[in-house]
């Protein structure tokens, strides 16, 4: 099924709507009709892949909704407030059932997300509101092969994002508006406000992120410190958090029930505890926002608790496979994200090791003193952390281009504090909130959070704390995942062959070369690679988000400054004047690439360089031997990435990487024959 999902999202055009289902039906018929075992297994495999393809098509069809094609506004926008997140940079709201002045209802998105920085009424989920705002389409990737923000927004039902230019006005409030979802959002917002009111920043913001999933209030400096320490997973509610909640509820209920002798002797309190933990975890799922990653974590937790109820082994590869299948059916697009990949990589690796040592573990614990068992626990926690870090390393580097060198040490301290101090106090705070006594638990919870932040600060400030690597080819994580699965699922000597795909991935990654030249889709930012392989931006103040993404893709921090008019880089690979630049990607004396900012020099650069990047329209054409791109190409196909060698130029675009898909409605490319 996973392969079918990957193929669907890899395609550059939207396939025939019934393709996946048709292949699934044919494969099912073949599997039932043919008696040859090998052919039946082959048909079964094709059928599973077709099933993944089919559910991907279905999820895309269900998510389809109007998406803005261009920036509009300021316009008066009204609708139901569906979600609210408050942070230092403003309040971010999601509106549904919206109406936009001057926009046809058939072209109006189902949801929009707006950042409100002006004073006005306090947003309340479920209320009807109006606001004057500027909207634009969800952003495409910042470079070919980069993270697809537009696709994520498409599957969230968000067809426009923007910012307010006027205050928010609540027209009227209706507790029934939006149904139970907005009631839940109202509870989330109330809990978040009470946490932020009880604890000072950034402690309160981190506590809110752990309990309600609202991370918008976490200061960027704090979040960056946590990322550099390798502790960012603590703020993203996932399997760790739901597992801790389920474990705390399960153990608490069972311990209390065990104290009541008639109940403990006559009734299956272990199963009752599993049911109690399942209900409590579901409530935590709703409180945390029920995002797709959290839903995936809940499904895995529910399967484990269900296994306890029916007296099955809760930790087995079969249950992981069932959880993965359920997640892929519910949200196929989630397999492309880091949450799915990191979580299942860690779980599969841990269960593989657990299955290898499960028969020996009781013997290791037997006849040990308290100190010996404590040491064994610390050793087990260390091994667990090492395995999880190794299993997820490739995916972390591929998605985030950074690796926390001291993350293992930070996790060995921070995870136990979170598990045994922070989260239990947090759950107690939630239980005390109806009585107004939550501060009794939030204050000690804050002590634990402060300790975690101290660990993060100390770790992140250690020299060499972060290893940065350039982005790999988009298919490389698939190869790493295949090797990991081979290592973990096979038994005996066969599993050793799983190392080979991982080694191939490492070699390919080390040899991969990033683009020599990048030009943003709005022509406001450029980047070139000098002879030393360092990427430098034309501006470090303009288009800062795009620039940060490019630097992360290159695996580096801020590079050297762009040469001023009349100057050149030290290696002479880039010379600039008031009207543009000439770039020598193969070194001084090699072919030159013209970067034109003023149309007056267009003809000259087309004649003296092998390739031209024009930030203005070219018009009648350009005679450069290797071709040219202009402002219209950038508008049609987004950011361009270019690689140069002695044989010519390779051009990749965001539109080409995205394809013509429902979440990427690019204009048709220019017909070069006309």
List, as one string, the DSSP characters of 280-342.
HHHHHHHHTT--HHHHHHHHHHHHHHHHHHTT--SS-HHHHHHHHHHHHHH-GGGGGSHHHHH
Amino acid 444: pLDDT: 96
Looking at per-residue pLDDT, the higher value among 208 and 357 belongs to: 208
Residue 582 has pLDDT above 50, yes or no: yes
Residues in the chain: 674
Residue 31 has pLDDT above 70, yes or no: yes
Which of helix, strand or coil describes residue 214? coil
Q: What is the mean pLDDT of residues 181-189?
A: 82
In 3-state terms the chain splits into helix, strand, coil percentages (rounded to 5) of: 55, 15, 30
What angle in degrees, to the nearest 10, is found between the helix axes of 317-330 and 338-357?
170
Residue 217 has pLDDT above 60, yes or no: yes
Q: Identify the residue whose tokens are 């939630």.
A: 430
Amino acid 155: pLDDT: 93
* Cβ-based neighbour number of residue 219 at 10 Å: 15
Q: What is the mean pLDDT of residues 573-588?
A: 87
DSSP 8-state assignment for residue 664 = B
pTM: 0.86
Amino acid 75: pLDDT: 93
Model confidence band, residue 668 (pLDDT cutoffs 50, 70, 90): low
Using left for φ > 0, alpha for ψ between -120 and 50, and beta otherwise, residue 157 falls in left
Q: What is the mean pLDDT of residues 326-339?
A: 89
Amino acid 173: pLDDT: 60
Q: What is the mean pLDDT of residues 402-429?
A: 90
The residue among 114, 35, 147 whose CA lies nearest residue 663 is: 147
Residue 240 has pLDDT above 90, yes or no: no
Residue 134 has pLDDT above 90, yes or no: yes
Model confidence band, residue 476 (pLDDT cutoffs 50, 70, 90): confident
Amino acid 21: pLDDT: 94
Looking at per-residue pLDDT, the higher value among 238 and 657 belongs to: 657
- What span, in angstroms and rounded, lies between the C-alpha atoms of 98 and 159? 11
Extract the tokens encoding 460.
């992140």
The residue among 96, 88, 142, 95 whose CA lies nearest residue 117 is: 88
Q: Identify the residue whose tokens are 């698939």.
A: 478
The model's pLDDT over 623-647, given as tens digits with 9 standing for 90+, comes to 889 999 999 999 999 999 999 988 8
Residue 673 has pLDDT above 50, yes or no: no
Residue 343 has pLDDT above 90, yes or no: no
Q: What is the mean pLDDT of residues 226-238?
A: 87
Q: Which of 358-372, 387-401, 497-511 has the lowest mean pLDDT?
A: 358-372
Amino acid 55: pLDDT: 96
* Cβ-based burial of 212 (10 A; exposed 0-12, middle 13-18, buried ≥19): buried
Q: Phi and psi for 501 in degrees, rounded to 5?
A: -60, -35
pLDDT above 70: percentage of residues in the chain = 97
**Spatial CB neighbours of 281, under 8 Å, sequence gap ≥ 6:** 242, 245, 246, 249, 298, 301, 302, 305
Let me know: does 4 contact 335? Beta carbons within 8 Å.
no
Extract the tokens encoding 475.
């298919």
Q: Is the dihedral of CA 499, 505, 508, 510 positive or negative?
A: negative
- What span, in angstroms and rounded, lies between the C-alpha atoms of 365 and 370? 10
CA dihedral 325, 331, 332, 338 (to 10 degrees): -100
- What span, in angstroms and rounded, lies between the C-alpha atoms of 233 and 217? 17
Average pLDDT, rounded, for the chain: 88
């Amino acid at each position: 099924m996973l392969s079918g999902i990957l193929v669907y999202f890899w395609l550059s055009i939207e396939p025939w709507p019934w393709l996946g289902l048709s292949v699934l039906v044919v494969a099912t018929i073949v599997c039932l009709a043919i008696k040859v075992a090998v052919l039946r297994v082959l048909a079964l495999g094709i059928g599973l892949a077709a099933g993944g393809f089919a559910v991907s098509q279905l999820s895309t069809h269900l998510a389809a909704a109007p998406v803005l094609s261009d920036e509009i506004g300021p316009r008066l926008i009204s609708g139901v407030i569906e979600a609210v997140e408050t942070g230092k940079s403003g309040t971010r709201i999601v509106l549904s059932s919206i109406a936009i002045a001057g926009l046809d209802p058939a072209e109006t998105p189902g949801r929009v997300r707006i950042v409100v920085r002006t004073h006005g009424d306090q947003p309340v989920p479920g209320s009807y509101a109006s606001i004057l705002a500027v909207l634009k389409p969800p952003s495409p990737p910042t470079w070919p092969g980069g993270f697809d923000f537009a696709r994520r927004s498409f599957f969230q039902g968000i067809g426009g994002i923007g910012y307010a230019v006027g205050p928010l006005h609540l027209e009227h409030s209706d507790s029934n508006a939006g149904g139970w979802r907005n009631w839940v959002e109202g509870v989330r917002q109330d809990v978040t406000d009470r946490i932020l009111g009880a604890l000072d920043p950034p402690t309160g913001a981190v506590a809110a992120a752990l309990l309600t999933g609202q991370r918008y209030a976490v200061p960027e400096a704090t979040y960056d410190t946590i990322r550099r320490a390798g502790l960012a997973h603590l703020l993203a509610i996932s399997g760790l958090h739901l597992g801790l909640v389920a474990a705390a509820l399960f153990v608490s209920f069972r311990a209390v029930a065990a104290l009541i002798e008639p109940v403990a002797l006559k009734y299956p309190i272990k199963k009752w505890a599993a049911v109690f933990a399942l209900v409590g975890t579901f409530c935590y799922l709703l409180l945390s926002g029920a995002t797709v990653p959290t839903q995936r974590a809940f499904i895995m937790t529910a399967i484990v608790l269900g296994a306890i109820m029916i007296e099955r082994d809760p930790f087995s590869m079969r249950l992981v496979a069932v959880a993965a299948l359920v997640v892929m059916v519910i949200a196929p697009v989630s397999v492309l994200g880091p949450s799915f990949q990191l979580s299942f990589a860690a779980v599969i690796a841990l269960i593989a090791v657990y299955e290898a040592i499960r028969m020996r573990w009781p013997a290791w614990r037997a006849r040990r003193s308290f100190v010996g068992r404590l040491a064994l626990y610390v050793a087990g926690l260390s091994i667990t952390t090492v395995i999880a870090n190794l299993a997820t390393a490739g995916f972390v580097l591929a998605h985030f281009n950074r690796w926390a060198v001291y993350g293992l040490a930070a996790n060995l301290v921070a995870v136990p504090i979170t598990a045994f101090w922070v989260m239990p106090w947090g759950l107690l705070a939630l239980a005390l909130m109806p009585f107004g006594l939550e501060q009794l638990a939030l204050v000690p919870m804050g002590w634990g959070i402060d300790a975690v932040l101290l660990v993060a600060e100390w770790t992140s400030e250690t020299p060499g704390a972060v290893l940065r690597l350039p982005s790999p080819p988009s298919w490389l994580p698939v190869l790493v995942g295949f090797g990991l699965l081979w290592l973990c699922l096979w038994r005996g000597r066969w599993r050793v062959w799983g190392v080979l795909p991982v080694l191939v991935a490492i070699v390919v990654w080390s040899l991969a070369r990033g683009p020599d030249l990048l030009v943003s889709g709005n022509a406001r930012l450029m980047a070139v690679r000098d002879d030393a392989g360092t990427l430098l931006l034309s501006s470090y103040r303009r288009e800062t988000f795009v620039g940060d993404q490019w630097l992360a893709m290159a695996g580096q921090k801020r590079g050297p400054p762009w040469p001023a008019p009349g100057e050149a880089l030290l290696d002479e690979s880039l010379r600039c004047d008031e009207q543009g630049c000439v770039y020598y990607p193969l070194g001084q004396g090699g072919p030159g690439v013209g970067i034109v900012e003023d149309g007056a020099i267009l003809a000259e650069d087309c004649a003296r360089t092998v390739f031209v990047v024009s930030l203005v329209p070219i018009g009648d054409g350009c005679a450069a031997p290797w071709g040219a791109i202009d402002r219209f190409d950038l508008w049609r196909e987004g950011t361009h990435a270019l690689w140069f060698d002695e044989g010519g130029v390779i051009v990749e675009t965001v539109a080409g990487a995205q394809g013509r898909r429902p979440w990427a409605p690019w204009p048709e490319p220019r017909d070069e024959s006309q």
